[in-house]
Chain A
Amino acid sequence: MVLKIFFPKCCNTADSGLLVGRWIPGQDSAVVLAVIHYPFIPGQVKKYLSQMRSQSQVDLTVLGSWSMPKDGQEGMESFLKDLSTIFPHARWLQLGRESGKRAFTCRVVQKNGKPPADQEGDEKDKIIFIHYDQRKVMLSQLHPVQEKGTEEESTELRMVFHTVAQSEPLFFLDMYDQGPLKLTHWQSEGREASIIVELVKQASFPVCVILTWLVSLWQWLGSFRMLHVWPVQFISSKLSTCVQTGYRTEHFQTVFSTKKATTHMEFMRKANMFVSFLVDIALGLLLISWLYRENRISQLANTLVPVADHVAKELQELLEWLMGVPAGLKMNRALDQVLGRFFLYHIHLWISYIRLMSPFIEMILWYVGLSACLGLTFALSVLSDIVALLTFHIYCFYVYGARLYYLKIYGLSSLWRLFRGKKWNVLRQRVDSCSYDLDQLFIGTLLFTILLFLLPTTALYYLVFTLLRLVVVMFQGLIHLSVDFINSFPLFVMGLRLCRPYRVAEGVKFRVLSEEPGTPLHLMMEINPLKFSSVLQCYRTPTYSCYPRDSWVALCKKLFVGELIYPWRHKSTKTD
């Protein structure tokens, strides 16, 4: 039977006294939390312990006695032994240390007065002392995080951490208090606190109240009936700016709520959101300061119209090339001319529209650039929307081409079945034979021939416009990915992991301190911090992340058949 005693490092040099701690239920181990020094009155000790028990919900008891005799303090041994009769116990520990020696001596006394286990006996109890840094263990959180109420199934390590963390009220009394009890623990040199933290804590409550009221006002504005008409709703679901705004509003609701965060995960989430929001604003302000210097806005506006013109001219040249003999392929002349002229007319409309807008561009850009003060993510969303608006004609061309191609493929596949004398059975979802009428056969074959010979022309137009559309979509996807990255990266926890790695713990590792035969084994417990990748995985803020809707194979299949593709799917925000 191995008895494990978790002993705080700070109590290594404490004066003699009583050990206060907890026996871990179900395991053969004990956690020592503090040492109560002389002089003390046993009644007051018991009263204090019961008060602490109710405050911290931890099953605190007196574990045993600790003796570190200084000069002129002989005769404590027998006194300490007699203490075991005063306090109720199942097992009583008698730990001792001699100044100058590293190892402890330990005796365990059972309740029924059995003789103390001898170190050299046959049925000796092996005792292991595990030294731990009390402050670090108190502040750290073991991962994976378990919800409350499942303490019974925890492992021993979890229970140790939980015990130390919950015993915070015990650490308020220190050695210099004027009260009847003097304790030694990690805070025994005096409570540490910082003025700034205390001030922020005091001020945070009214600030939160005001901000929550502002957020609710904003939401009330947004819930107007007028804004829920279908066209407005449809457009606002497509514009990424509106999506980002809604997302940030939800964040604010969480962060500024007046309810204090109860669990570890809630607190981390709030902190992450807040820090990422601050960083976002800082980056946005940086962007503004760069953008509005040296007249960059007007430079940008001046280059925008020529760029749009240039794009339109390139498209026109592309269409002329398609109407000729593109890449040596021979197209059907009549259809070629029809399609080419149709698209050329669209481009002509587009160029006129741009020319109409050109006087107002600079002013629009100036105001739009100001929106970057709401955060870099906002500015990127606005950029994505501007790109979408500017390439709207490419989107239109793609839709026309795709629809035409899809109709053609659909017609061809159906007529090919007619060619072979078969038909699609909708009920059984399979191809069956069918006897057609003479005129059905005749017209079917005619149409099949026509569609087949016109296929290369349509396919080429479709291919060209799909490629253009994919380029635009890739660009927009990049912007969305970076917005998503800024939104969901858990900055606060990453900072914690870098600066105070013991706060996010994955496990522990043990180092042997002294291993001499005849003395109990002494180990030092050090906290293993969580890996960076696990930190990221665990604490990522769930966002409306856009990720590819289809796998590559499904995407290629859709492209081949001519279905319209919307490669990015926006997941709605999950609320845990």
Chain B
Amino acid sequence: MGADSDSGAPPNVPWRKVLYERQPYPDNYVDRRFLEELRRNIRVRQYRYWAVVREAGLVAQQVSCVAIFLTLWFNMDQGDLGPSKLLWASLGCALLGYGLYEVLGGGSSRERTRMTDLQSAAIFLAFTFGFSPVLKTLTESVSTDTVYAMSAMMLLAHLVSFPYTQPSPPGSLSLNAALFASVCLASRLPGALHTFAMLSCALLVFALWPCLLHRLRDRAEWSFPLATGLVCTAGVGGLASLWAGGAVLLFLALIVVTLVCPMLLVHLQRHKDNIHGPWDEAEIREDLSRFLS
């Protein structure tokens, strides 16, 4: 039973890695082929520093977008910026962006016709303009601190849930959070036209700009760092006009995100220690579409 009668002398029968047979070896016996299928770090990618920095630019530019938006709002609140001016500027930027989008993406089959785009624009404009008196009175009875706190939380949620890997269809939660924050802020402005202008600007900055950026990154690789740098500069500069300390903070944050964090990432890769083996769960790799007819 179990233990061999002659302990010390190795038995003649070769050991097999099965448990359903009674073998003259003890149950926890292993031979020299133990763990020969163990593999370490087979899927570890080697990051290169500047590529990571390039990708991290997306995070930085999104933070700067939020900063730009806040700048615009503050200026409108103070009365430095008139609503009609902002509206015309938004219209110009929108047309410019649309043209750029068409130029870069032209040639591939379109999912949406020009007619659909026009329809969407018309719907959105009509709705916003129609609801802006209602939107203006929404937060009348809510205290200022609450409004600021809500907006801050919502913008934070927007940043956290933004789909950085695939920004082209904007994620629901991030876009909705950003729009909610912008409605809260816009309802604090003095007039209905202000609200309308603010909301149009918010749509441009949060919904349409990431699509254009994604297209830029796909089609014209060289322009992506340029655009990112432009946006970051605009963000820091805008904040500087409001509050110098904030600008400094933003600048520092951008530096950390863009330069320091990638360095940490690359540096810590050498501590990675993943083990793989036949005990892992099976992953289906092949294309099953030939079975689904």
Residue positions of A touching B, CB distance < 8 A: 330-334, 418-421, 435-436, 438-439, 441-446, 448-450, 453-454
Query: B residues within 8 A CB of A454?
Result: 138
Query: A residues within 8 A CB of B140?
Result: 332-333
The chain B residue with its CB closest to the CB of A437 is B120
Contact with A along B122-160 (1 / 0, CB 8 A): 011001100100110111111000000000000000000
Closest A-B pairs by Cβ, 8 of them:
A421-B172, A330-B141, A445-B179, A453-B138, A449-B183, A445-B176, A419-B176, A439-B120
Nearest CB in chain A: distance from B208 CB, A? 8
Interface of A is mostly: helix
**Which residues 60-117 of B sit at the A interface, judged by CB distance below 8 A?**
none
Query: B residues within 8 A CB of A445?
Result: 175-176, 179-180, 183
Q: Is A438 a contact partner of B127 (Cβ separation < 8 A)?
A: no
Question: Which one of B127, B138, B170, B180 contacts A443 once the chains associate, using CB atoms below 8 Å?
Answer: B127
| B169 interface contact, C-beta 8 A | yes
Bound together, the chains give a CA A449 to CA B176 distance in angstroms of 10
| Known A441-B207, A443-B124, A449-B183; further 17 A-B contacts with Cβ < 8 A | A330-B141, A332-B137, A332-B138, A333-B140, A334-B134, A334-B137, A418-B172, A419-B173, A420-B173, A420-B176, A439-B120, A439-B124, A441-B179, A442-B124, A442-B127, A446-B179, A449-B138
| B225 interface contact, C-beta 8 A | no
Q: Is B173 a contact partner of A421 (Cβ separation < 8 A)?
A: yes
Nearest CB in chain B: distance from A332 CB, A? 6
The chain B residue with its CB closest to the CB of A415 is B176
Bound together, the chains give a CA A444 to CA B176 distance in angstroms of 9
Q: Is B123 a contact partner of A443 (Cβ separation < 8 A)?
A: yes
Q: Is A446 a contact partner of B173 (Cβ separation < 8 A)?
A: no
The chain A residue with its CB closest to the CB of B141 is A330
Query: A residues within 8 A CB of B142?
Result: 330, 453
Bound together, the chains give a CA A421 to CA B123 distance in angstroms of 21
Q: Is B138 a contact partner of A442 (Cβ separation < 8 A)?
A: no
The chain B residue with its CB closest to the CB of A325 is B141
Bound together, the chains give a CA A330 to CA B134 distance in angstroms of 16
Nearest CB in chain A: distance from B96 CB, A? 19
Nearest CB in chain A: distance from B200 CB, A? 11
**Which residues 172-210 of B sit at the A interface, judged by CB distance below 8 A?**
172-173, 175-176, 179-180, 183-184, 203, 207
Q: A418-B172, A421-B173, A443-B123 are in contact. Are A450 and B131 (CB under 8 A)?
A: yes
Query: B residues within 8 A CB of A334?
Result: 134, 137
Bound together, the chains give a CA A442 to CA B204 distance in angstroms of 12
Query: B residues within 8 A CB of A436?
Result: 172
Q: Is B172 a contact partner of A442 (Cβ separation < 8 A)?
A: no
Nearest CB in chain B: distance from A28 CB, A? 69
Q: A439-B123, A442-B203 are in contact. Are A450 and B141 (CB under 8 A)?
A: no
Query: A residues within 8 A CB of B176?
Result: 418-421, 441, 444-445, 448
The chain B residue with its CB closest to the CB of A449 is B183
Bound together, the chains give a CA A454 to CA B176 distance in angstroms of 19
